[in-house]
């Protein structure tokens, strides 16, 4: 497993982990997280695939530039990385915001250069609309009202950003997680400066998946409704591996 770097067309240096050989799969983490948080999955994937886990712009060990934190730019970063590494029709796996980046990729670049998708723990839309009825809210899978999103952005800028980060992370993981592991996750998240976390979370939840992309994603992905008890463990992504392998024979 090696750490490498790649420079984007607008001059940002991204860090990524590369391991294994074979068919490429690119792992995209969620908001404020890092490639290192795939540490349990990378060795398992690397038994079957050339596995690339990217620290998104400003996250993890990537350069902390002050620009380019829109979802569309993050998807452009991935498109450029795929081209620079000459990855032939890679699989894409996204967790949380990583899914939003994949959907933006589909809008901008299509699926011609991508094989399979694995979408983990992300609804098609993150911010509910005030005029929706209860059924529409349930079907959308939204997690924030516009007011809650604005409050989160304000807290990241002016309030107790670490407390907000901890509250968000607590909602994402199983209660059985050890304190030591949870604190490690918090530390990984804090590598993205909170000032840079603000525009990223705002753009991430304000972006809706387009109907055309949703159709493409449904036809070309393995369903991965995340079980929080498996998210930080090898078992969950072993299921994803099985899904990718099985898709070749179905």
pLDDT in tens, 98-127: 998 999 999 999 989 999 999 988 777 767
* CA pair distance 193, 195, nearest whole angstrom: 5
User: Who wins on pLDDT, 75 or 237?
Assistant: 75
232 pLDDT exceeds 90? no
pLDDT in tens, 159-174: 688 888 888 888 888 8
pTM, full prediction: 0.78
Of 174, 71, 164, 76, nearest in space to 125 by CA: 71
* pLDDT of 241 higher than 90: no
Q: Taking each helix axis from N to C terminus, what angle separates 161-172 and 194-206, rounded to the nearest 10 degrees?
A: 50
| pLDDT bracket for residue 200 (50, 70, 90) | low
Question: Residue 174's CB: how many other CB atoms inside 10 A?
Answer: 12
pLDDT at 203: 57
Digit-coded pLDDT (tens) for 16-45: 999 999 999 999 999 889 999 899 999 999
Residues sharing a CB contact under 8 Å with residue 88, sequence separation 6 or more, in sequence order: 24
User: Where is pLDDT greater, at 132 or 183?
Assistant: 183
Say what percent of the chain tops pLDDT 70: 78
Residue pair 145/186 in contact (Cβ under 8 Å)? The answer is no
Which among 36, 3, 11, 6 is positioned nearest to 190, based on CA atoms? 36
Alpha-carbon distance of 21 to 103, in angstroms, equals: 26
Q: Residue 145: is its pLDDT beyond 90?
A: no
């Amino acid at each position: 497993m090696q750490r490498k770097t790649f420079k984007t067309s607008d001059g940002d240096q991204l860090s990524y982990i590369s391991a294994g050989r074979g068919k490429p799969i690119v792992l995209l983490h969620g908001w404020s997280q890092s490639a290192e948080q795939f540490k349990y999955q990378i060795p398992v994937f690397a038994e079957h695939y050339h596995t690339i886990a990217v620290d998104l712009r400003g996250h993890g060990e990537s350069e902390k530039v002050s620009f380019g934190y829109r979802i569309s730019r993050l998807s452009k970063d991935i498109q450029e990385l795929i081209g620079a590494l000459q990855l032939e029709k890679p699989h894409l796996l996204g967790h949380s915001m990583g899914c939003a980046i994949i959907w933006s990729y589909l809008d901008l670049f299509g699926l011609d250069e991508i094989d399979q998708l694995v979408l983990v723990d992300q609804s098609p839309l993150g911010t509910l609309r005030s005029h929706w009825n209860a059924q529409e809210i349930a079907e959308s899978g939204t997690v924030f009202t516009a007011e809650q999103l604005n409050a989160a952005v304000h807290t990241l800028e002016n309030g107790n950003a670490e407390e907000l980060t901890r509250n968000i992370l607590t909602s994402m993981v199983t209660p059985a997680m050890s304190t030591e592991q949870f604190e490690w996750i918090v530390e990984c998240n804090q590598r993205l400066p909170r000032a840079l976390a603000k525009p990223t979370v705002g753009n991430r939840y304000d972006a809706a998946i387009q109907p055309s992309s949703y159709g493409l994603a449904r036809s070309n992905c393995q369903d991965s409704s995340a079980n929080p008890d498996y998210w930080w463990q090898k078992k969950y992504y072993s299921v994803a591996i099985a899904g990718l392998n099985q898709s070749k024979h179905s």
